[in-house]
Every structure is written in C-alpha cells, then in structure tokens.
Structure 1
Amino acid sequence: MSRNYKVQNRFLFHTNIKIKIPEVYYTETVFDELYGILEDVNEKYNSYSENSFIDRINKNNGNFVEVNEEMIEILEKVVHFSDIMNGEYDITIMPLIKLWGFYKKSDVRIPEKEEIDEIRKLIDYKKIIIDRERKRVKIDAGQEIITGSFIKSYAVDKLVKEMKRRGIDDAIVNAGGSSIVAVNQMPEDEWIINVENPEKENISEKNEQGYVTHILLDSYREKNDEDLFDIKISDESYCTSNQGNTFVEIDNQKYGHILSPKTGYPGKNRQIGIITKEAFAGDIISTGLYNQSPEKFFEILDRLNREIKVEGYMIDEEGKIHYSKGFFEHIIKD
C-alpha cells in the first residue's frame, strides 16, 4: 500500500537539506523540531559559524579552548578515521585550502611548490590535542580546522536518530545530494537513489553485465548521460565527493577543493561514492579516498571494513569506474 509523504526543504550548511517523512507522522511543529537539531549542530560545531566551538579553537590556535562533551566525541571520531586512513584525511587542511585561493575574490594563482611545502608543515591532525578530562582542545599555532567534510553528515545522523526515537520508520534525508540517509523499518523496504554523472557533458559506457564502466566525452551526441545509474539503500547512507561544484579556475583550468594533505595538490579523480550505515563515516571516507589511486582505494576500503561495513566506487581521472564487490548488490540494472 502506497503512503503519502510530507516534504520540507531548508538551507543549512551552505546547501539545501530536504526531509521527507510519512504524512502520518506530520504535525505543525515536526519539521521545526527536526530542523532544529541540524541548526543546533550548525551553531555549535560548524567551523563557518561565528563563535562555534571550532571557530573558537581556530581563533585561539596555540592555546587550549574549553569545549563540551559532544565536541570531544566528534573530534575523537574524526581523528580515529584519520588514523585508519593513515592521514589521507586531515581536518587541519584549511591553511592549504586558503593558499589555493578558495576564499579569494581575485588574484587567484597556482601556489609555488615552496609555498605548498611550507604550509604543509601545518597540516597534521595528530597535533590536535584533545584533553577529555578537562574538556578542552588545542591546535598548534597557525593551524586551522575545517568541518565541511563531516559536520553536515554528523548533523543528519543525529537527526535520523531522533526520527527513530519518535517512531518514524520510513523517511529520507537528502543533504545537498552529497549525503543521503534512508530510514527503513524492514531491510526489504528500500529507497532508490539516483547517482549523477559528475561531468554532465560525458556519456557512460556499460559492460556486458549492464554495469557502467567508464564515463567518456562524446561531443557528437545530442543528449549525454546526466545520470550514471540508480542504487537502492535501506537504513543506510550514500555519500559522494567530487570537484564539480567547488573549484577555482586558473588560466581556464579548474582546480577542485579536495586537496591531498600528503601532496598539497587537488585530486584529479572524478568522483567517489560510499555506502555506509552512518553518513558521518561515509562523508569522511569519500573525502579521504578522493585523492587515492585505485589500488590505495581498495586497500583503505579493506582496512575500514575491519571496523564498519563500507561499499563504494571510484571514478578515476581517466573516467574508469572501480567498484567494490559489495557495491554491485546496490545497483539497479536497467
């Protein structure tokens, strides 16, 4: 039996966040209460929010800043994932992002290698000192934390927990298309997610089994493939990272915002897609895997799967798509 749903869309974390719930759970205040959870996280923990805990930590770099228990827990989890990925994911990368001109309105240029090497000395998540006993945090002088790769998804996970506490067992939250969480009571109940082509001018090429294997440029076709495929998720999340929307353009060349903490340069892969239980983990993982070779992609996935269930794919810089074995189970073939 089909259900009727109520949908609302609000702008938070610099993107549109859509919540869809069954009509039976709708009240005049339910959306205000649910979005209130996101707003609370945004106010307290987003590095872009004035006077948030992270904002205070950044502005007082080199000194301890008092925080609350939740801030401690968030940072400990982030550091743990950085450890698993051997520093391929690092939230102290903000000085490098600024060096590349992502917060400049003019005079954007490719940094000199010497400049990159000097700034990279500041990029080290292991220098984040978390004093759990005294509830305080310190970063090194000159360091700066950016939360863009995890705080939105953390907020969505917190929202989903509240939904389940209220008995909402059928819902979907879409945070800007890059973090999507499905809520289902039964495993056989699934939400269908459309996986977009990161480069709209390209077409997709399939193998004999019907799976997309490449995205290719075809300037002669009238209609290209804006979508790659559909996937199904049940009580889990789908997170994606690409450079399509956030980049600087220098001499007609686009340079994306996902930088490698190891090299200091933007990644050249096209897209990463990750399916995990919680969006917080998926968002971090998709960012950390973005700058990897296919071999390292699978190596890190294997390491992560010792702790949590993770499936994913990588579209490399040549447009070839590399899938984990378990990801095929989520793809809906034509």
Structure 2
Amino acid sequence: MQSNAIPESVRYPAGKGAWAVLWLCIAMTASCSRPPELRVLRGHTMGTTYTVRLGQTPDGTDMASLARDIDRELAEIVSVMSSYSPESAVSRFNRLQTTDWVEVPRSLEQLVEHAQTISRLTDGAFDITVAPLVNAWGFGPKPDRTEPPAPDTIAHALARVDFRLLRTRTDPPALQKTSPQVQIDLSAIAKGFAVDRIARLLLDRGVQDFLIEIGGELRSHGSHKDGTPWTVGIETPDSSGATIQRILTLDAATAIATSGDYRNFFEFNGHHYSHIIDPRTGWPAETALASVTVIADDCATADALATALSVLGPEQGLRLAQGNKVTALFAVRNGSGFTEQQTGGFERWLSR
C-alpha cells in the first residue's frame, strides 16, 4: 500500500473544515522560540488533512513503514465511519429500512455507544441520528445549499431524529433502529475517534512523544525531542484565521477539540446558517457562541462535547460544563469582538 503521508516540516493552509487549533510555534514565530527539529507525517483523510509530529522515536523507527500504518488505519476508519462513502458500514446501515439488529464492526458499535453516552449527558444536544437534518441543510454528502430548506422538509427530517431510537449491542456487536428511517452521522465524533486510534497505534509501536492533528482535533503525548512541552494555539473565531486567541502548553497527555460556526456556513438574505445543527429543533444553532474548545482525556469525547456545547450556547453550555467538570473555553460574541468564559480546569493549560 502506497502511503499518502509524506515528511513535512511546515504547516499548510486549512481547507473547508473547521480548523480552530493551529501549530503555534509555526503560526506565531514571534511568540515562540524555534521548535526542536521534528519528524513530521502529513496526508489527507475524512475530507480534510492530518499531521503527525514526532518527538523522540525509538531507535530504528522506520518512518515509511509508520506512514503506511497510519494511512492503513485511517483508511479502515473511513471504510467504517464515513457518510460520504456509499460502501462504508455507516452508509450501509443507513440504507437499511429495518428494525432488526444489524451486525456491525466492533469499532462502530463502540463509537456509537460512546456517542449515546454523550447524548444522554447533554440531553440530546449531541445526537448522531441528526443525519437527515445535516443532509436537508446541505452540510452532508448531498450538494451544498444556498438557501434554507422548506419548513416541511425540516419537520420531516426532524421526525426521524432522536438518539433514543438507536440501540447498541456488544456481543456480537450490532446496532438496532427502533424506527426504520433512522440514519446516523458520525462527523462530529469520528475525527476525534481517528485521532485516538492513531495515538494508540503510535503507543503500540513504542512512540511516546507525539502531537496528532486531524482536521483541527488534537491529541498530545510526551514532549518535543528536547523535552520541552508541545505548544499550540487556539485560533480567533473569525473567517480570516489570521490571529491566535489563546496559547496552550500541553505538558501532559491530553486531547483538544474546537467547534465553531465561522468556517462552514452559508448566508441567505443576510442571515448566517451554520453547519452546527441543533438536533432538538432542526435548525442551525443560533447563539452568541462563536467557538468552544474542550480539553479531555480522549479526543472522541472532546470532539463530541465541543459540538454539544456549541449547540447549547454560552449559558447552558457553561452550566453543563461546570456541572460535569468539563474543561472548556468559550469565545462569546460581544459586539464587534469576543469575550471569554472558561471552566475552572482550563486555566491549568494556558501558557504564562
């Protein structure tokens, strides 16, 4: 298998995805000393890009072999999780009009169960059965929209959305729809899951020092080659992507995900329609929240919670985060600028 990953030492521009976390020491050289020399792999996956930065590696590490393993792992995840691939396990499950148990790959059952846990925690603000609404609004595999769908189209899609209509079974791994028209979309958790899988791959191969990024979702472990911690920045939530809002020092293993409404959207009659759909109403979330960054032990959790808090907005989202000890930073629109709100645990990661 030929690898799509090639060594690279500079960051390239982001595409359509919501890139809200940047490599700080590359993006802001005035604020950082020159980083130690890194071994870097990059490539394409899930309609976006990935970068794997390595600090100290075990003697004899074969970078070409490691790159192939990473690409192989990501390709396997896409073959299971993608809504854009018609032959993926998710797409096949979505096409089935049945309430019978459907056997699926164990990784899919496990991720769906994890997603259901987040749905219960957020009372449906995160919901992977949102697929009919994502498609109706043109933010899924179907062509992009330039105007909102008709109200009856939204109502029809909304009637098929409810995480409680989906069940999981562990042995053998299977999913069940209690309504045959249920469909799932894992785009708000799959990139985080992929980051976690690549982290596990690296650790299994003895690599302890790495910083992984897929479409803006991050996971760190260890440090730079010289022992200095990984340092990243959170992008200011505007479409220019030109400035850094906050600098984070990752001096312990952690995962980070950011969700924002300022990159993937369309405007119609002067109104902004974001890709962040509220699965409870059927409409794009409309709050003063521009972006939210979540820090967690694993990236799938951070990814899903960032989406949920974006749906809930700054007031409800902050209450949920504080009540459940979620480490989060909220950027809230305030006239022409932004104000910050954060939970108690976030201060620990901010660079001094």
- TM-score bracket for this pair, using the shorter chain length: 0.7 to 0.9
Preserved contact between residue 38 and residue 156 of structure 1 (Cα < 8 Å): no
Partner SS state of residue 93, structure 2 = helix
Greater Cα shift, 146-155 or 293-302? 293-302
- Structure 2 alignment gaps of length 5 or more: 1-34
Partner SS state of residue 128, structure 2 = coil
- Using the size of structure 1 for normalisation, the TM-score is 0.83
CA distance in 1, matches of 2:136, 2:296: 33
Percent identity of the aligned residues? 20
Shift of 1:38: 1.7
Q: 5 Å matches for 1:55-66?
A: 55-64=91-100, 65-66=102-103
CA distance in 1, matches of 2:315, 2:341: 10
Query: What do residues 121-171 of structure 1 show as CA deviations (whole Å, max 9, x unaligned)?
Result: 211011012233443223323222111111121111011112112221111
Q: 5 Å matches for 1:162-201?
A: 162-177=201-216, 179-184=217-222, 190-200=229-239
Shift of 1:112: 4.3
Q: 5 Å matches for 1:108-187?
A: 108-139=146-177, 140-177=179-216, 179-184=217-222
Alignment of 1:227 onto 2:244 = yes
Shift of 1:113: 4.1
Query: What do residues 200-247 of structure 1 show as CA deviations (whole Å, max 9, x unaligned)?
Result: 569xxxxxxxxxxxxxxxxxxxxxx62112111221011000122211
CA distance in 2, matches of 1:45, 1:200: 28
Query: What do residues 54-92 of structure 1 show as CA deviations (whole Å, max 9, x unaligned)?
Result: 111101133432213222211111101111111110011
CA change 1:74–1:102 in 2 (3 A) is: closer
Query: 2:78 corresponds to which residue?
Result: 42
Partner SS state of residue 259, structure 1 = coil
Preserved contact between residue 274 and residue 311 of structure 1 (Cα < 8 Å): yes
Partner SS state of residue 194, structure 2 = helix
Q: Which one of the candidate residues 320, 327, 337 is aligned to 1:311?
A: 327
Partner SS state of residue 129, structure 2 = coil
CA change 1:106–1:192 in 2 (3 A) is: closer
- Structure 1 alignment gaps of length 5 or more: 203-224
Shift of 1:15: 0.7
CA distance in 1, matches of 2:124, 2:145: 31
Moved over 6 A (4+): none
Aligned length: 304
Query: 1:288 corresponds to which residue?
Result: 308
Preserved contact between residue 155 and residue 282 of structure 2 (Cα < 8 Å): yes
Partner SS state of residue 52, structure 2 = strand
Shift of 1:293: 3.4
RMSD over aligned CA atoms reads: 2.4
Query: What do residues 21-54 of structure 1 show as CA deviations (whole Å, max 9, x unaligned)?
Result: 1364441311111232222111122222232221
Alignment of 1:76 onto 2:116 = no
CA change 1:172–1:76 in 2 (3 A) is: same
Query: 1:7 corresponds to which residue?
Result: 40
Greater Cα shift, 114-123 or 241-250? 114-123
Partner SS state of residue 293, structure 1 = helix
Amino acid at match of 2:149: P
CA distance in 1, matches of 2:240, 2:53: 31
Preserved contact between residue 72 and residue 135 of structure 1 (Cα < 8 Å): yes
Partner SS state of residue 316, structure 1 = strand
CA distance in 2, matches of 1:134, 1:105: 36
Partner SS state of residue 267, structure 1 = coil
Alignment of 1:21 onto 2:54 = yes
Query: 1:249 corresponds to which residue?
Result: 267
- Using the size of structure 2 for normalisation, the TM-score is 0.79
Preserved contact between residue 91 and residue 147 of structure 1 (Cα < 8 Å): yes
CA distance in 2, matches of 1:46, 1:150: 11
Preserved contact between residue 185 and residue 235 of structure 1 (Cα < 8 Å): no
CA distance in 2, matches of 1:323, 1:272: 9
Query: What do residues 234-285 of structure 1 show as CA deviations (whole Å, max 9, x unaligned)?
Result: 2101100012221123234331100111222212321010111110100000
Query: 1:209 corresponds to which residue?
Result: none
CA distance in 2, matches of 1:173, 1:283: 14
CA distance in 2, matches of 1:59, 1:20: 38
Query: 2:343 corresponds to which residue?
Result: 324
